[in-house]
Structure 1
Amino acid sequence: MSVLQALKQLPDGLFWSAPLASDSDFTAEDPLALDYLGQQVGLWLFRGFTTRTNRAQNYAVVLYGLDLAEKAIQRFGYPGDDETRTRLFERWERFWALATLEFRNGQLSRGDEDAMRGVRGATRAWFPGSKPLPTDFALISRQNELGGLGAYLSSLREYGLVFPGSLRVTPAAREILDSFWSDKTERDWSRLYEDYALSALDFDAKTIPRSNGRLTLGGLGDRSRLSSLRHRSRGEQQQRLWNALFVGARDGSTLPLAECLIAAHEAGVDDPEQLLEGMLADRWRPLTSDNRGKVEIALLFGRVARLLLRRFDRAYGHVDEHGWVADFAAVAAACFPNKEATELRKACTALLEAPDARRFGGLQFHGPDFLTLLRRLASSTATASLEHMLAFHRAVQRTRRGGGSWLRTEQGKLVMQVAGYAGYTTDSEFPGLKLNVVRQLLGDLGKLP
């Protein structure tokens, strides 16, 4: 998006950009921080998962890479510090990504069931033929943060598979690691696979051979790619991961809510709002009072979030469609019409009266201001409601990057300050609240078709 500023002189030329690629990393920004708040609500439901931990095999891949880094430290005599472990893990991650590309003959894009974090970087580095592949290439910017380690580390620590504050795997991960390449019922070539992978962790190695003895890089990719749990019928490994991530969850809600998800899917219910409604009605299994409170606040938040984003989108769209300057009162009437006032007030009041609403007050960012906004919207006029919503939006923007509002109030007008937000062109939906993440994990583990 672009901040609008007056030019001091005419430009020397005009330029335009190509449209974003279908596998672009660009994500539209949420103007009311409802994405952040929704992630926190999702954590109350499923404490061990984040929006980035959506593939079960990736848990095993990250664990194996950390364990392999320890073995590389011993074999090559490297320093046993976390900086070295991170470098070694990143080499493993690049090796594994290229192995997957090799198996897929380079045909892999974002959205594919085997697409890893950094798929575009891996695709650029891979080339057909028999020549060795490079070990050092840009998989993804800030790989230690945005790659597999950054995405899964906090979750692995939450589940006791990696020691707190360290990059070392715990004994609880041993069975998953020992069966990374194959189950015990198959011929055990795990040491050969390990030696092949370890060769890529040698800092002096500049290339990765496409074969090592009887093994091929593509063969390793087939055995370890993200969809391997299902396509290679890894039932025992699926059960180990199910036990680690769901049965062993310590929050009291992950397992029972996941079981509700499974039963709901069998009943043909996948819509997030309908799913939460069914949980509250004990349609699939009875909930404890604590879990009922979590589900209730998730349902009420989702409804409020949808209504609020819809109203912001109306305001932004109205200004955009009226030449970037519109009468404030007209915008207020358009996005907070009287005929819809009761629906919004009831939704805000219901959330505020829920016992678990207090959870928002304990959030580090946006939560207390969000509750204040709801209290004001529960009894405000259209004009006051728009003022309150824009004040919350300004507070969100200041917290994010020290910037200002996308819409600026000036002499009774609402003026476009930041152009390029296209979210208003689509209808606001009920937020996912990590339900889609858990559903993907359950699919990987064979619990959903």
Structure 2
Amino acid sequence: MLAAHSSLPDGVFWSAPLPPDSDFTAEDPLALDYLAQQVGLWLFPGFTTRTSRAQDYAVVLYGLHLADKAIHAYGYRSDDDTRTLLYERWERFWALATLQCRDGKLPRGDEDAMRGIRGATRAWFPGTKPLPLDFPLISRQSELGGLGAYLTSLRAYGLLSPGSLRVAPAAHEIVAAFWSEPGERDWSHLYHAYALSALDLGAKTIPRSRGRLTLAGLGRRSRLSSLVRRARRAQQERLWHALFLAARDGSTLALAERVIAAHEDGVSASEHILAGLLRGRWSGLSADTRNKVEVALAFGRLSRVLLGRFNRAYGYVHDHGWVADVDAVAEAAFPRQDAKELQAACGAVLAARDGSRFSKLQYHGPGLISLLSKLHASGPDDSLRHLLGFHHQVQRSRRGGGAWVREEQGKLVMKVAGYSGHASEPGFPPLKLNVIRRLLTDLGRIT
């Protein structure tokens, strides 16, 4: 249906399916995705939303170890810029090996789908001819590839030497067992030599076989699912120790053990796990960890309510020709019969013992607390203005942009069209519990 508008929108954007290796999320009008990441860090300080595969830790560590070997073997400069360059060579080689063992077929969401899968798929081709080594694996590979994704976590766990890209002694056993268990009768040294040859920067391609070895064989031994597929129990134990038993914070191991217990009871949803923990299910928690769980559950429920209210407001303006009366939008977004739900959600975060953590965040946290204090006791019109004001602050701090809808002479006018999130009900954020479940699956703790 065509309709006249009092002014043109300032911009247009759209949503599209994201590739498996994408590091981007859909537009987040209230910075709730960002805030959820911070809450996840309170629960699991050593992990990020991108550190979801246990074998990736081993891949990155082995690649950095291999880079040091290449520096000595080929006489390259011994600095971190060179290590990064050589690691990226290894990452491309490893991605090709994984594709080779899967005959070039890695559908979206596959257990072996790695970061940079689209770039590797474009470079790989069937047959026996050598494969290229210098191809774009992923845009800004040093940031968005495996090293960029896992670097912070590796340093947090002491698996890299402080201030460098050298593998620390704590990771030596993981690296030594990358291809197979020490002492097994295998060809680990030959696999190592094959991989090392890929880091010869003078070589533009890599053969698909080297003596008795094949590129596919390397892929089968090192792909992301190899810990489970090859029943690498000793290597799983090393990684479990490095990532969970050795965690220096007080909540990572305790919460991981209870995620395992919840799984055994058939509970996997983040909200249900957190709610069960607060009820004392799966044994008690320390006061500090319980406080983190309390604020995480409160924030998760709040984010669902707040995003739902924004989506109602945006959807109403969208469905009424991009211009609508403020009063009508307020009644649609903040109906009086739902006022208690909003007040309870705001009050739970404000009352949480660790709720003050939001005020200490550099971005968006203080604004959120201010918003909740206002929403806790405001009517529909004021609630709408407070929510849209927070949205405007978020957008302005990101890229100097403005609100997607803006009030003009008693009307709300669409300024940025194309947000599709309003068409679906918001869910409870995973708060990094999905990352922990994926890691625990790789480590054989969840089956």
Does TM, normalized by the shorter one, top 0.5? Answer: yes
Equivalent residues, number: 438
**Which AA in structure 2 matches 1:242?**
W
* Partners of 1:53 and 1:151 within 8 A in 2: yes
* Partners of 2:14 and 2:418 within 8 A in 1: no
Q: Deviations over 1:59-105 (max 9, x none)?
A: 00000011111111111111111111110000000000000000000
Q: Which residue of 1 aligns with 2:313?
A: 315
**Which AA in structure 2 matches 1:348?**
C
Residue 271 of structure 1 and its aligned partner are, at CA, apart by 1.5
1:197 aligns with 2:185: no
* Partners of 2:8 and 2:415 within 8 A in 1: no
Q: Which residue of 2 aligns with 1:248?
A: 246
- Which of 157, 165, 169 aligns to 2:155? It is 157
Q: What SS is found at the alignment partner of 2:293?
A: helix
Q: Percent identity?
A: 66
1:411 aligns with 2:416: no
Residue 315 of structure 1 and its aligned partner are, at CA, apart by 0.7
Q: Which residue of 2 aligns with 1:86?
A: 84
Question: For residues 42 and 425 of structure 2, what CA distance do their matches in structure 1 show?
Answer: 26
Residue 186 of structure 1 and its aligned partner are, at CA, apart by 2.7
Q: What SS is found at the alignment partner of 1:355?
A: coil
Residue 281 of structure 1 and its aligned partner are, at CA, apart by 1.6
Superposed counterparts of 1:295-314, under 5 Å: 295-314=293-312
User: CA 1:19–1:266 in 2, change beyond 3 Å: closer, same or farther?
Assistant: closer
Q: What SS is found at the alignment partner of 2:310?
A: helix
**Which AA in structure 1 matches 2:73?**
R
User: CA 1:304–1:18 in 2, change beyond 3 Å: closer, same or farther?
Assistant: closer
Question: For residues 288 and 74 of structure 1, what CA distance do their matches in structure 2 show?
Answer: 49
**Which AA in structure 2 matches 1:429?**
G
**Which AA in structure 2 matches 1:266?**
E
Residue 428 of structure 1 and its aligned partner are, at CA, apart by 0.8
Q: Deviations over 1:312-370 (max 9, x none)?
A: 01111111111111111111110100001111112211211111011111111101011
* Partners of 2:174 and 2:239 within 8 A in 1: yes
User: CA 1:81–1:231 in 2, change beyond 3 Å: closer, same or farther?
Assistant: same
Q: Which residue of 1 aligns with 2:62?
A: 64
Residue 206 of structure 1 and its aligned partner are, at CA, apart by 0.3
CA RMSD for the aligned pairs?
A: 1.7
* Partners of 1:109 and 1:119 within 8 A in 2: no
**Which AA in structure 1 matches 2:395?**
Q
Residue 23 of structure 1 and its aligned partner are, at CA, apart by 4.7
Q: What SS is found at the alignment partner of 1:326?
A: strand
Q: Which residue of 2 aligns with 1:226?
A: 224
Residue 378 of structure 1 and its aligned partner are, at CA, apart by 0.5
* Partners of 1:110 and 1:119 within 8 A in 2: no
* Partners of 2:21 and 2:118 within 8 A in 1: no
User: CA 1:236–1:18 in 2, change beyond 3 Å: closer, same or farther?
Assistant: closer
User: CA 1:20–1:242 in 2, change beyond 3 Å: closer, same or farther?
Assistant: closer
* Partners of 2:20 and 2:115 within 8 A in 1: no
Q: What TM-score, normalized to structure 1?
A: 0.95
Question: For residues 181 and 132 of structure 1, what CA distance do their matches in structure 2 show?
Answer: 22
Q: What TM-score, normalized to structure 2?
A: 0.95
Residue 164 of structure 1 and its aligned partner are, at CA, apart by 2.7
Question: For residues 322 and 269 of structure 1, what CA distance do their matches in structure 2 show?
Answer: 42
- Which of 50, 53, 60 aligns to 2:51? It is 53
User: CA 1:425–1:121 in 2, change beyond 3 Å: closer, same or farther?
Assistant: same
* Partners of 1:73 and 1:79 within 8 A in 2: yes
Residue 185 of structure 1 and its aligned partner are, at CA, apart by 5.3
User: CA 1:207–1:283 in 2, change beyond 3 Å: closer, same or farther?
Assistant: same
Question: For residues 432 and 153 of structure 2, what CA distance do their matches in structure 1 show?
Answer: 14
Q: Which residue of 1 aligns with 2:388?
A: 390
Residue 208 of structure 1 and its aligned partner are, at CA, apart by 0.7
Q: Which residue of 2 aligns with 1:187?
A: 185
Q: Deviations over 1:118-149 (max 9, x none)?
A: 10100000000000000100100000000000
**Which AA in structure 2 matches 1:260?**
R
Question: For residues 183 and 445 of structure 2, what CA distance do their matches in structure 1 show?
Answer: 22
Q: Which residue of 1 aligns with 2:140?
A: 142
- Which of 95, 98, 108 aligns to 2:96? It is 98
Q: Deviations over 1:177-230 (max 9, x none)?
A: 000001135324221111111111111000011011111000000000000000
Q: Which residue of 1 aligns with 2:323?
A: 325
Moved more, 188-197 or 43-52: 188-197
* Partners of 1:57 and 1:228 within 8 A in 2: yes
Runs of 5+ unmatched residues, structure 1? 8-15
**Which AA in structure 2 matches 1:306?**
R
Moved more, 216-225 or 348-357: 348-357
Residue 24 of structure 1 and its aligned partner are, at CA, apart by 7.9
**Which AA in structure 1 matches 2:31?**
A
* Partners of 2:95 and 2:114 within 8 A in 1: yes
Question: For residues 40 and 74 of structure 1, what CA distance do their matches in structure 2 show?
Answer: 41
Question: For residues 197 and 172 of structure 1, what CA distance do their matches in structure 2 show?
Answer: 23
Question: For residues 146 and 212 of structure 1, what CA distance do their matches in structure 2 show?
Answer: 31
